[in-house]
Amino acid sequence: MHDLLKQYFNQEMTIYRYQLIYYCVGLIMFSFGAKGFIDAELGTDPLDVLVIGMNKHLGVGLGVCSSLLAIFFLTWWMLWNRKLPPMTPFVSTSAVGFLLDFWNALHVEQYTIEAMPVIDVDVWGYTLNLSAVGLDVISLLICAYASSLIIMSGIGIRIMDLVAITMIEKWGHSFFRAKMTLEIVLFSTGWVLGGPMGVTTVLFLFLVGPFIQPFMLMNAKYLDIPNHGIMQQVH
């Protein structure tokens, strides 16, 4: 066990400075997009539905709740694969949670949703603020682009992507099916705990993923960002 841990923590990792920059920018952008979801009050992404639901009961902050979830899923991954898990998914998942706490502490909402005019319209008997819808759409695009940067950096992925890839390897699921299964479980559990599930949760499932690939192609073609990929960090 000692030799295994020594090998694990002393493995060589070649990371260029620009990879780290793309990775950090991606994490910051993703957390800012998630903050937009929260402020628009139309629901949030599946993982944060659960994180916010947990925090309502634990009251320890979104960063700590994100870290607890990451530890749970990494432990599951370790037992399932019978090997030590990569640490970058823990960093990615926890960092987004702590950044959300940071944006909340700065009251960023006063510069976003609170600075926008209230434009209410009635849709099928419900009152909808078009400014909140606009913020929601922008936040979805921000999260999709942020995900493209994180993936292309080759440094880390969110914990759900790591588990989904194992589901592909073990059960032969498609990536879409594995992600959908996991995220339905996430937001269903989060909703039971009181998390903010809404139209954003559904849109995140069906819109963010399809936008990631075009953004990756755009980054490679117009910004000359090399794609270090996701798979080499998983194996």
Q: Are 45 and 59 in contact (CB under 8 A)?
A: no
What is the predicted pLDDT for the residue at 14? 66
Confidence (pLDDT) at 63: 94
Averaged over successive runs of 10 residues, the pLDDT of the chain (235 residues) comes to 44 72 94 94 90 94 93 90 84 93 95 92 82 93 92 81 79 74 88 90 80 89 83 38
Helix, strand, or coil here: 43?
A: coil
For residue 183, which amino acid is it? E
Please spell the DSSP secondary structure of 148-177, one letter per residue.
Answer: HHHHHHTS---HHHHHHHHHHHHH---HHH
The predicted pLDDT at position 200 comes to: 87
- Whole-prediction pTM: 0.83
Query: Both tokens of residue 87?
Result: 């640490």
Question: 17: which residues sit within 8 A by CB, 6+ positions away?
Answer: none
Give the Cα separation of 23 and 122 in Å (integer). 41
Cα separation values, 208 from 26, 139, 205, Å: 14, 10, 7
Contacts of 6 (CB under 8 A, 6+ apart): none
What pLDDT is recorded for position 120? 86
CA 77, CA 115: separation in Å to the nearest integer? 43
